[in-house]
Structure 1
Amino acid sequence: MHSFLPVIALVFNAFVWGVSWWPFRQLHDAGVHPLWATALMYALAVVSLLVTRPGVWGRTLQHPALWLLALSSGLTNVAFNWAVTVGDVVRVVLLFYLMPAWSVLLAWRVLGERPTGAAVLRLVLAFAGVALVLVPADASAQRLLANLSGADALALAGGFCFALTNVTLRRLHRVPSESRMLAMFGGGTLMALASACAGMAAGIVPSLPAPATGWVVVALLLAGAFLLSNFALQFGASRLAAGTTALIMLSEVVFASVSSVLLTATALAPRTVLGGSLIVGAALLATLPARKAGTAGVGAQH
């Protein structure tokens, strides 16, 4: 049973993220915009980490490069949480998981890793899947941008920032994990708070409502779930090959799809299923080199 604990931990992490759209929508219905919810959630995570890891603040400040991690991770959470709250859940999650394709391009630009033939194949599969998901059956490819909703754009941006987060983590692999966690939690707090304030000034984000038992309880439970899921991710990913971790994380797509169908009674269009299969297939191919290499690493939260 012990050997299955890392797998169970990663599946739990994927489950929390896969169904997180539902509590975010409950908070949204109560008047709490997902930007405010994200800021509150990660602020609690920062406080918890500072309390349980004395001295982590000082150690984190010793690594200025963590500011890039804070920025990319924070924007990832802002984009994903907002998109999954207001957009079609399955569509958002699929577009977000274009991340492996972005990773190929970013690794080429940032790390100097030239794409292999397999990497180019993954790019083609992933972007073909995106075209199927985004473009209606009766529309031409030229109308791609015309059919792109705000939630779609947020999901794509979130996937790109997630890829940047993973590439940055690879560059900062020598930095202590608790410092990386603080940077990611802190980035989530700062970016969500800054975005919420900017959106409120622009009139597109309502102010935070007065505390009420209903939404405060949901927010606290969601924050606790994300804390546990992050610890589960750190536990599981540090004990399994990086490719295995990435493979298990793809179960988030399944959890999101099934929960969306069950809780919203929506049906998946054939083009969405086909496009999603191409995107997930490209992500699965991305796990093969890492699994052969047998490397171990810590994955990134959203």
Structure 2
Amino acid sequence: MPSNETPRIYPVFALLIGAGLWGVIWYPIRLLEGGGLGGIWLTVTLYGAALVFSLPRTARAISEFTHHPALLLLLMLAAGWTNIAFVEAVLEGNILRVLLLFYLSPLWATLMGWLFLRERITRVAFASLVIAMSGALLMLWNPILAWPWPQGKPDWMALTSGFAFALSNVVVRKLQDISIQAKSLSVWAGVVVVGGVIIAIFSIPMPHPPGSIFTGAVALGVLGILVMTVLVQYGVTHMPVHRSAVIALVELIAGAVSQQLLTDEVVTVREWVGGGLIVLGAYLAARASSPKDY
């Protein structure tokens, strides 16, 4: 392999590992909730731990927030909602269903990449959008309403989390002159800020879990959330949106395998078919958004 190709491998591996970890993190999150630390307080603890632990390396990046304040604020808000909604979804919903609905995000990312980053989309990509949206409508079909509509809070959380994730990836890609440290700091701080606002608005009481559970949440925040965020930010920053969207689909594989091994949750035939269309559409849309291989 030519030496000038080697650096391109690093973002791919980083995103593969980061996405794979995202596909299985639902399990320790559920264990922590079962121990008495759940909901939005769990999310704030996880990301607050990552934020505090990162400060020795990321504090110097605070000055970069004066370069693109509006975009970094948008990244904070988008990343904040992405992670809060994702944790809420995996705590209450069927894991694979949540991940499949979340992974309409490559479609949103491809469209946003076209709108804001001028990344090309072919006719095949538009056709693939129809395929994926057909899958979403099939998964969301409500037999009572006889209409496709999210069936409860987990569906809404998964869908909005995926949209916000796509938005945050596009913003990350656009901020090419901002360091990984500043972007990661924006993600962690965004979750803490958005989570704190929600806690204050809805007066959500603070839980009092055993010390071991709180310690476990801090450890997961540092060893899990922090590492995964850095890996994903690095990967997304150094490759086109269409390619990162495809590679990130490995999260679905990790989620499906871990669900089968660790839960007794059932996925219906309709959900499998709809999910398959979503994956196919997301893959084709992302691949077709640029005719050139990276």
Smaller-chain TM-score range? 0.7 to 0.9
In 1: Cα distance, 2:281 partner to 2:129 partner: 7
Q: CA deviation at 1:291?
A: 6.4
2:82 equivalent in structure 1:
76
Whether 1:198 aligns to 2:201 is yes
Q: Secondary structure at the match of 1:293?
A: coil
Corresponding residue for 2:161?
158
- Residue 251 of structure 2 is aligned to residue 248 of structure 1: no
User: Counterpart of 2:69 in 1: which secondary structure?
Assistant: coil
Q: How far does residue 210 in structure 1 lie from its aligned partner after superposition?
A: 4.7
Q: Which residue of 2 aligns with 1:102?
A: 108
Please report the TM-score for the alignment, with normalisation by the length of structure 2: 0.85
- The match for 2:147 among 143, 146, 150 is 143
Residue in structure 1 matched with residue 282 of structure 2 by the alignment: 283
Pair 1:132 & 2:138 matched? yes
Distance 2:236 2:110 in 1: 21
Question: What is the Cα deviation at residue 244 of structure 1?
Answer: 4.5
Q: State the AA in 2 paired with 1:12.
A: I
Map of 2:69 onto structure 1: 64
Q: Provide the rounded CA distance (Å) in 2 between the counterparts of 1:79 and 1:64.
A: 24
In 2, Cα distance between equivalents of 1:135 and 1:12: 33
Query: Is contact 1:36–1:208 with CA below 8 Å preserved after alignment?
Result: yes
Structure 1 letter corresponding to 2:147: R
Alignment of 1:218-237 (within 5 A): 218-236=217-235
Q: Flag the 1:246–1:99 CA change in 2: closer, same or farther, 3 A.
A: closer
Are 2:35 and 2:210, in contact at CA under 8 Å, matched by a contact in 1?
no
Q: Which amino acid aligns with 2:247?
A: I
Q: Distance in 2 between matches of 1:168 and 1:5?
A: 21
Sequence identity (%): 33
The CA deviation string for residues 113-133 of structure 1, in whole angstroms up to 9 with x for no partner, is 796422321221111111221
1:15 to 16, 20, 23: 20
Alignment check: 8 A CA contact 1:6 1:240 kept: yes
Structure 1: gaps of 5 or more residues: 296-302
CA distance in structure 2 between the partners assigned to 1:237 and 1:105 by the alignment: 16
Q: Which residue identity is paired with 2:62?
A: W
Deviation at 1:290, TM superposition (A): 5.7
Distance 2:159 2:238 in 1: 30
Which residue identity does 1:220 align to in structure 2? A
Q: Distance in 2 between matches of 1:241 and 1:170?
A: 7
Query: How many angstroms apart in 2 are the aligned matches of 1:32 and 1:24?
Result: 9
Q: Deviations over 1:71-98 (max 9, x none)?
A: 1111111111111111111111100111
Structure 1 residues 287 and 181, CA gap change in structure 2 (3 angstroms): same
Asked if 1:181 is matched to 2:184, the reply is yes
Alignment of 1:203-218 (within 5 A): 205-218=204-217
| Equivalent-residue separation in structure 1 for 2:241 and 2:107 (angstroms) | 17
- The answer for the alignment partner of 1:27 in structure 2 is 32
CA RMSD after TM alignment: 2.9
**Corresponding residue SS for 1:103:** helix
The code of the aligned residue for 2:45 comes to L
For 2:197, the aligned partner's letter is A
Instruction: Spell out, residue by residue over 1:92-117, the C-alpha distance to the aligned partner (whole angstroms, 9 max, x if none).
Output: 11001111222355456656779642
